[in-house]
Amino acid sequence: MESEELRYWLWWNRVPGVGPTRFYKLLEAFGSMKDAWLAVETQLAPIIGAKALTGYKQARADWDPDLELKKVDHFGFRIYCLPDPEYPPNLKRIPDPPPVLYGWGNFDYGDDIAVAIIGTRNPTPSGAFTAKDLAMQLSCQGLTIVSGMARGIDSQAHLGALEMNGRTIAVLGSGLDMPYPRENEPLMERIARQGVVFSEFPLGTEPYAKNFPARNRIISGLSLGVVVVEAAQDSGSLITAGFASEQGREVFAVPGNIENDRSKGPHKLIRQGAKLVENYQDILAELAIPQLSKAEIQAADDQGLNELEYKIITVMKREPLHIDQILRRAALAPAQVSSTLTQLELRGLVKRYPGQLYLRVK
């Protein structure tokens, strides 16, 4: 996006009362957010309402987007606006995508093959283990793990992906410079190195309770499906599951002990039609994502290949494929595909051509 227009996107994103719906109405009415900002109040009032108009006047008087851009640069963050080609494709397709996303880390090609794992902040040992194990297993199959970086289930989901050198995305209910909870700052740094941390909230935004439902719609919007592991009947995780249903995403739930109140949320979702999850294969099967069968794993062993090498070899035909095509067919993370192709090339099983093209030769 052209830098001057970006300033006005940031300015409008800061105005209280102007959420995505009003933001896009302004864009439609004026053609650009700069022209909307420079419009007279009588033109703005019918679109954004009196309360937001007051917020607009205050933001215009008290806030400078150039300072925000300097802070973004200082912290090493980046900004994704809806028209940008790098904006997450899954999120673009929800009814109310955030006009502006602040990101720390990098959103990679392949991160749209993602599953969210969410749940209570106070899990049982069994629930914590299940969340982490599901994340580890799905990461091994090349899926990106999305969660909210909260205590409990969310943290375990991120850790599971990180431990398998997989990709993971965290979504905050505060500005990127105001991480919550504070004790998860080291986890946030790890996620930024091995994925990306997103927030739609401007820098300096505190983690107010009202922010989290909006944040939850982004968690589900980034994902192909949402898995709930332990949650109370009135948990925010069920709000996320509701957003997932509205967005056309799959909803999964892990059943638990009927004596445990933290099983009530997943059980409620199952009664409402959520897919019951006993293992990671249930999730892959429902999402129609290729997975290696026991026979394929044995075949890989017989050929002296590990599971990733076998999975990539089997999707490659007798014509050169671009690395992006291999990523899509194998449903693996970019780092996994790149390193595995290098190993296959060294073993003489794959030949690399200019333009990131690869050919299976054996």
Q: Residue 292: its pLDDT value, please?
A: 56
| Residue 222: pLDDT over 70 | yes
Number of domains in the chain: 3
Please write the tens of the pLDDT for every residue from 142-193. 789 999 999 999 999 999 999 988 899 999 999 999 999 999 999 999 999 9
Q: What is the mean pLDDT of the chain?
A: 91
Exposure b/e, 199-236, CB count within 10 A at least 16 = b: bbbbbebebeeebbebbbbbbbbbbbbbbbbbbbeebb
Residues 116 and 241 reside in one and the same domain? yes
Instruction: Specify if 80 maps to a domain.
Output: no
Residues 301 and 201 reside in one and the same domain? no
Whether cis (ω within 30° of 0) applies to the bond prior to 181 is: yes
Residues 123 and 161 reside in one and the same domain? yes
Q: Residue 300: its pLDDT value, please?
A: 56
Please write the tens of the pLDDT for every residue from 199-219. 999 999 999 999 999 999 999
| Residue 297: pLDDT over 70 | no
pLDDT category of residue 294 using cuts at 50, 70 and 90 = low
Please write the tens of the pLDDT for every residue from 273-288. 999 999 999 999 999 8
pLDDT category of residue 15 using cuts at 50, 70 and 90 = very high
pLDDT category of residue 291 using cuts at 50, 70 and 90 = low
Residues 189 and 326 reside in one and the same domain? no
Residues 58 and 108 reside in one and the same domain? no
- Residue that terminates a domain, selected from 230, 257, 287: 287
Range(s) of the domain holding residue 20:
3-63
Judged by phi (left if over 0) then psi (alpha if -120 to 50, else beta), residue 21 lies in alpha
Q: Residue 318: its pLDDT value, please?
A: 63
Please write the tens of the pLDDT for every residue from 322-356. 888 888 778 777 888 888 999 898 888 888 888 88
Residues 184 and 269 reside in one and the same domain? yes
Question: pTM for this structure?
Answer: 0.82
Q: Residue 321: its pLDDT value, please?
A: 85
pLDDT category of residue 72 using cuts at 50, 70 and 90 = very high
Q: Residue 2: its pLDDT value, please?
A: 83
Length of the chain as a residue count: 362
Q: How many CB atoms lie within 10 A of CB 73?
A: 10
Residues 172 and 262 reside in one and the same domain? yes
Strand partners, 329: none
Give one DSSP letter per residue of 206-233, joined into a string. Answer: ---TTHHHHHHHHHHHT-SEEEEES--T
pLDDT category of residue 302 using cuts at 50, 70 and 90 = low
| Residue 116: pLDDT over 90 | yes
Please write the tens of the pLDDT for every residue from 122-141. 999 999 999 999 999 998 88
CATH code of 27's domain: 1.10.150
For the chain, how long is the longest CA-to-CA vector?
A: 74
